[in-house]
């Protein structure tokens, strides 16, 4: 037994003697060189300044009592641009599209807070209507004239008609008047939108999709007008009259132009549209 203990003790001493380097004090200088992958430093540092948004613009929607009271995903009312318009003139506005784009237009509204029947005017540019929006307004309507863009037209239509009804016009009495490309957009949009009580089309195109839209729009009332020399438009107007199951009026003209130009060449057309609106939405 003593021999075994002596052997183990000797082995332990030899092991400790070989580990002297493990307990050596640290050296003041590095004893090894580390290396690894490196990235060349950028020659310059580019710092982009943040976009500064005025406080009034940043919080204008959330601080507006009408906007704040809306349920989630509702369309915002038209946002006034610039100084308030004098009484009797239109106020330049912007409507926020579903993709966040600001859609330009002009709004004619009652200054006494009354919710009048509303009319949405659609044309490639809201300025195409001339003085017709003001005539409509003086006849007792809240009028929203909007410019169109090609992409996302139907989604834009949805926010336009909802913006008109949200806080400006009587949502129970709304009409849409479209001219040219706006005529197509008016019928295609109102086919799936029950807020539309009546539609007026000035020079619709020959797009066959309009006939399918007419089937969805029925049996609501329709007025359609076109020049007889605008063959594709006039043919479509006749087909829409045939497809209508509700009250319908086809007003043909001879060489009256197309779209909003018809209101210039035939001033009596504007009077006819106002009479139609009086019968349909009051």
pLDDT of residue 109: 87
pLDDT of residue 150: 81
Query: What residues contact 141, with CB distance under 8 A and at least 6 apart?
Result: 108, 116, 117, 118, 119, 169, 277
165 vs 159: CA distance, rounded Å: 10
Q: Where are the beta strands (DSSP E) in 1-87?
A: 79-80
Report CA dihedral (97, 102, 108, 113) to the nearest 10 degrees.
70
Question: pTM higher than 0.75 for the full model?
Answer: no
194 vs 251: CA distance, rounded Å: 25
pLDDT of residue 16: 52
Lay out the sheet containing 79-80: strands in order across.
79-80, 91-96, 102-108, 142-147, 117-123, 170-179, 198-202, 222-227, 248-253
Topology adopted by domain 89-281: Rossmann fold (3.40.50)
pLDDT of residue 114: 78
What is the residue-level pLDDT of the chain in tens, covering all 282 positions?
Answer: 555 555 555 555 555 555 554 445 555 554 544 443 444 444 443 334 444 445 344 334 444 444 444 444 445 566 666 545 544 578 999 999 999 999 999 999 876 767 899 999 999 999 999 999 999 999 999 999 999 998 878 899 999 999 998 767 999 999 999 999 999 999 999 999 999 999 999 999 999 999 999 999 999 999 999 999 999 999 999 999 999 999 999 999 999 999 999 999 999 999 999 999 999 998
User: Is the distance from CB of 102 to CB of 80 less than 8 angstroms?
Assistant: no
Domain positions in the chain are 89-281
Cis (ω within 30 of 0) for the bond into 219? Answer: yes
Residue whose pair of structure tokens reads 């982009």 in the numeric block = 48
């Amino acid at each position: 037994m003593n021999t075994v203990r002596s052997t183990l003790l000797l082995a332990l001493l030899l092991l400790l003697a070989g580990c002297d380097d493990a307990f050596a004090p640290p050296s003041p200088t590095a004893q090894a060189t580390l290396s690894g992958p490196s990235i060349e430093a950028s020659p310059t540092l580019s710092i982009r300044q943040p976009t500064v948004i005025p406080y009034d613009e940043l919080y204008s929607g959330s601080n507006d009592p009408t906007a704040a009271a809306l349920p989630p995903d509702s369309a915002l009312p038209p946002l006034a641009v610039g100084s308030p318009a004098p009484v009797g003139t239109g106020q330049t506005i912007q409507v926020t599209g579903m993709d966040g784009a600001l859609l330009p237009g002009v709004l004619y509204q009652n200054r006494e807070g009354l919710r009048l029947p509303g009319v949405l005017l659609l044309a490639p540019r809201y300025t195409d209507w001339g003085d017709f929006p003001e005539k409509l307004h003086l006849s007792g309507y809240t009028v929203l004239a909007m410019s169109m863009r090609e992409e996302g037209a139907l989604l834009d239509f949805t926010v336009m008609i909802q913006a008109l009804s949200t806080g400006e016009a009587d949502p129970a009495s709304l009409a849409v008047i479209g001219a040219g490309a706006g005529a197509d957009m008016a019928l295609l949009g109102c086919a799936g939108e029950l807020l539309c009580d009546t539609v007026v089309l000035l020079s619709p195109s020959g797009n066959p999709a309009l006939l399918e839209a007419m089937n969805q729009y029925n049996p609501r009332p329709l007025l359609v007008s076109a020049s007889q020399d605008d063959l594709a438009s006039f043919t479509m107007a006749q087909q829409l009259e045939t497809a209508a199951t509700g009250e319908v009026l086809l007003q043909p003209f001879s060489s009256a132009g197309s779209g909003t130009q018809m209101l210039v060449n035939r001033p009596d057309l504007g009077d006819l549209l106002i009479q139609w609106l009086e019968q349909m939405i009051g």
